[in-house]
Chains A and B, each alone.
Chain A
Amino acid sequence: MKYFGLIWAGLFRKKLRTMLTLMSLWSAFVLLGLLQAVNSLFSGGADFLGANRMITQAKTSFTQPLPIRMMPQIEAVPGVARVSHSQFFGGQYQEGGSFFPQFAVNPQRLFDTYPEWTLSEDAKRNFVSTQDGAIVGKLLAEKYGWKVGDTVPLNSFIWTKADGNRTWEWKIVGIFDGRDSEWKKRTSLMYLNYGQFDEARNPRAKGLAGVFVVRMNDPNQSEKIAALIDEKFENSSDETKTQSEQEFQLGFARQLGDIGLIVNLITSAVFFSILFLTGVSMSQAVRERIPELAILKVLGFKDRTVMLLVLAEAFLLCFIGALTGMLSASLLTTTLPPEFPITTDSRVWIIAGISVIVLSLLIGVPPALRALRIKIVDALAGR
């Protein structure tokens, strides 16, 4: 640590070159931060979801709604605590307005399976008892300035009413929030009472529930329970696929394709370029300073110490570049709109940390070895 001043002075011996190298490193780590944050989202992200919920969907596809008559059968499976159902509504609010998700649900069963949403007892009772009632998430209500008592018309691109009309009116009876900060961030959705939804829709579609949300007593039993549920409907026309809620959510992201591959390809291309660039600049910096390093040795610095000084300088360079880059990336992700829920989480910081070590070794070791081997007489003579 006592050599910090020396290392620092060596690093900024040529200010312009160091600043430019730092800028390259900065750009590499901004990209690393952003891209790996995206990768986190696709490769495991949804771990805030409780482990005690599973989703039962039609095996063919989750877009194929399952009939509501299956609910008591699922609920009868040992280990299942409560079942709710959820149908994607696909409504558009205002012409050309931005999209937010709505689901038609049974209110009481929603509260039983999602205790993470918080809502006053009065609002809960109102949602249960209002056929055309809806509850909206806090963020969504703030965005559109909705209050309890407002009527929201939604134009569904999927569901028509029996008379062929596609405009559904929903009365807001409550505004819900999340239990903790993770859930508070996700209150950009709307729940509709299944009552009016099933009553008014086209008779062809009546009695379809969508997907089932299964709440278990013991999350450790999930695989067994999932197998039991799927077994029940095997070889029927409504075969099911039951998986954890997390898997179900990840399935959506994976539909987009191999995001991880693309992200990792870009990251490695960036790193290769930066590695090369920083490496050349570092070895140049050492080459110019050979006489100075020789003087250090004359003053009594050991060969090993001089080598470590050079290595530390490479590390410091990478560290500063990485830190500023990652901080910029974190700052950028927080300014993104909530539709892009990417954050530079601990996984990303760990990747950045490993990258700093690898990068500083790759660019630091060759010039450090050179510094180790400097012969004082030759160096001072300029040979």
Chain B
Amino acid sequence: MSTLTQIREIVVMNLQSIPQRLGASLVIVVGIAGVVGVLVALLSMSQGLGKTLGSTGRADRMVITRGGSNGELSSFLDRPSVTVIKQDPAIARGKDGLPLASGELIVITEVPRFGQKTGANVTLRGVEPNGFELRPELKIVDGRKFRPGLREIIVGQAASKQFDGLRSGSTLRFRGQTWNIVGIFSTNGDAHESELWTDAETAQSAFGRSGVSSILVSLKNVDSLASMQERLLEDPQLNVEVKTEYDFYSGQSSNLTAVIGVLAGIVGLIMGIGAVSGALTTMYSAVSARTQEIGTLRALGFGAMPVVASVMSEALILAFAGGLVGSLIAFIAFNGYSVSTLGSGFTQVAFKFAVTPGLVFTGLIIALAIGFIGGLFPAIRAARMPVTAALRGG
């Protein structure tokens, strides 16, 4: 028999005998499923967050904030600056002939999560009427829009699911006043869905502010971005930063993604050590249980390579099964699970865990790597066993 035929025969024979050693074989499957499940779940969290923030904003809309501020919350633009900025010739005009720009005021409010007493920071965004025309992706899914001048609020879909008391028809208390929630809006799952929206001027009067935090503008032509940036930055009356909306939001996920990455790395490494030793235990005992069988095969003329292949293939197949089970559990338990955490604007960003095919692939690679290490040493031991000793049972 050629080596290849030998490998095929011995591998098939070995795999057929796995059910006889089911308990021990399951150790590999369960151990690796644990590692892969936890890793995929952790990574799907940062994947989901990246997805939410990465889908916020478009490249043809600009966010203008005060120079040196690290986000909308710490930014402030006074009324004269707002007027100057809105007059920039690069800004598109709306149906009413006025610049397509919305001065927006950000204040933080505290709303409790479901089942908790302490409040979580939620963004209250005051927008100008043009804020809706600027964002065609925004849809009211329940109720209606707020009316300017009244203390009315609309709530993002994700926020209404994540925090207590944010339903259409309920009320909130801010600064000694009662605000009515009149509708729920959706923006295709981006970061704005974690916010509360109201009329900019109503928010200004209620919170005693005169200016805005940021201005969102739409450009006539994306190419005019550079010239607009230059004009605004060189204007001695202004001190601003101009970014595309896309850059503004996607920059915010990097910090948290890095933290989750480090956490997943540490947890994965330590769990990986545990799983490797589990796999080694199983494969060593599989080899020792088959000592006489291996000895017989060697006596019949099977080479060392086919013996190595049979042990390795068993380890890899069990590991692969473990990886699949782990990914599947992570998918069933976590895919689409929605949570919220503190975003870089110091307010809550709600997002959903996303178990993507890429993550499953990563999980399977890790599973195979653990299986490889777990199979290698026992395979070498099996191949090196002297035939006579093996026949006597080691």
Q: Which residues in A have some Cβ–Cβ distance to B below 8 Å?
A: 16-17, 20-21, 23-28, 30-31, 34-35, 59-64, 90, 155, 157-158, 160, 164, 166, 204, 234-239, 241, 247, 250-251, 254-258, 265-266, 269-270, 272-274, 276-277, 280-281, 283-284
Contacts and interface: CB of A to CB of B under 8 A. Distances in A.
Contacts of A28: 274
A20 B27 CA distance: 13
B108 A64 contact: yes
Top-7 shortest CB links A-B = A273-B34, A27-B274, A61-B108, A23-B277, A257-B341, A20-B277, A24-B274
Contacts of B173: 59, 239
A157 B116 CA distance: 31
B240 to A, nearest CB: 12
Contacts of A158: 69, 74
Nearest to A247: B118
Contact of A256 (B23, B278, B341): B341
B176 interface: yes
A168 B206 CA distance: 31
Nearest to A275: B30
B24 interface: yes
Contacts, number: 148
B346 A277 contact: no
B121 A255 contact: yes
Interface residues of B, number: 58
Given A61-B107, A237-B175, A256-B342, A31 B271 contact: yes
28 contacts: A20-B278, A23-B273, A24-B274, A27-B273, A59-B110, A59-B175, A60-B175, A63-B108, A157-B74, A166-B68, A237-B176, A237-B177, A237-B208, A239-B173, A251-B118, A251-B119, A255-B120, A256-B341, A257-B342, A272-B30, A272-B34, A273-B34, A274-B274, A276-B26, A277-B31, A280-B26, A281-B27, A284-B24
B24 A255 contact: no
B110 A61 contact: yes
Nearest to B45: A262
Contact of A273 (B33, B206, B341): B33
Contacts of B26: 276, 280
Given A60-B174, A61-B121, A256-B342, A27 B74 contact: no
Interface in B25-39: 26-27, 30-31, 33-35, 37-38
A328 B270 CA distance: 11
B176 A270 contact: no
Q: Is the interface of A mostly helix, strand, loop or mixed?
A: helix
Contact of A20 (B207, B281, B346): B281
Interface in B339-358: 339-342, 346, 348
B280 interface: yes
B70 interface: yes
Contacts of B118: 247, 250-251, 254
B366 to A, nearest CB: 14
Given A30-B270, A64-B108, A247-B118, A273 B68 contact: no
Contacts of A61: 107-110, 119, 121
A273 B274 contact: yes
Contacts of B271: 27, 31, 270, 273
Contacts of A21: 277, 281
Contact of B107 (A31, A60, A166): A60
A101 to B, nearest CB: 13
B252 interface: no
A155 to B, nearest CB: 7
A356 B252 CA distance: 42
A58 B218 CA distance: 35
Contact of B281 (A160, A238, A266, A277): A277
A238 B177 CA distance: 10
**Most B CB atoms within 10 A — which of A241, A281, A283?**
A281
B239 interface: yes
A235 B110 CA distance: 17
A63 B342 contact: no
A378 B24 CA distance: 25
**Most A CB atoms within 10 A — which of B27, B76, B267?**
B27
A273 B342 contact: no
Contact of A164 (B121, B239, B274, B346): B239
Contact of A157 (B70, B282, B339, B342): B70
